[in-house]
Amino acid sequence: MRRLLLPVALLMLAAPMVEAQQANRAAPAAPRPSRLGDYQSWTAAAHTESGQKVCYAFTRARSSEGVAGRNAENVMLLVTHRPGGRDQVAVRAGYNFPRGAETKLFVGQGELAFFTNGDTSFARDGRAVVAALRGGREAVHRGPGPNGRGQATDTFALAGFTQAYEAIGRECPPPAPARR
């Protein structure tokens, strides 16, 4: 009887592991972003997040200074349209900001305020930033370096921003106003 119990117990333990492996094989891969187009320095794309379409335009930094070992390819300026909010503007810095840090984005003579969380800086007023980006030639983002040491400066080309922004607006149009 004991000889029979051991193989039965092993089968009972192995069954959930086999089911999990089969479920992992059957699970669909996460959808990949779809490219809407390239517009000079900017790329427009869309992806699905929690069943909702999210559209974004981004560019990589043309130059990055002030943080040793940081690659400008990893530094991005993004504008996102989500179902719950449009004109969400962020800068991904490639390092974690000090807690509670503030950063600034300079476009032409304008200075726009951003707040930080982790490795990302978020615009306090996305609409104002988008308006500035549409009329500018370059954007310069400045903020504290890692651990509050030094200052990091990232420069972004704005050529093609308006076209990329219009592409994400077509793909993710604003919600229709509620009817009364």
- List, for residues 46-76, the tens digit of each pLDDT value: 999 888 999 999 999 999 998 887 777 889 9
User: Does the residue 9 lie in any domain?
Assistant: no
Write out pLDDT tens, residues 98-142: 999 999 999 999 999 999 999 999 999 999 999 999 989 999 999
Q: Is residue 6 part of a domain?
A: no
Please give the tally of structural domains in the chain.
1
What pLDDT is recorded for position 35?
93
Q: Is residue 100 part of a domain?
A: yes
CA 40 from chain center: how many Å? 19
Regarding pTM above 0.85, the answer is no
The three-state secondary structure class of 26 is: helix
Range of the domain at 60: 34-171
Residue 14 included in any domain:
no
* Among the listed residues 54, 60, 62, 104, the one whose alpha carbon sits nearest the alpha carbon of residue 80: 54
CATH number of the domain enclosing 162: 2.60.40.1880
Residue 48 lies inside a defined structural domain of this protein: yes
Is there a domain that residue 149 lies in? yes
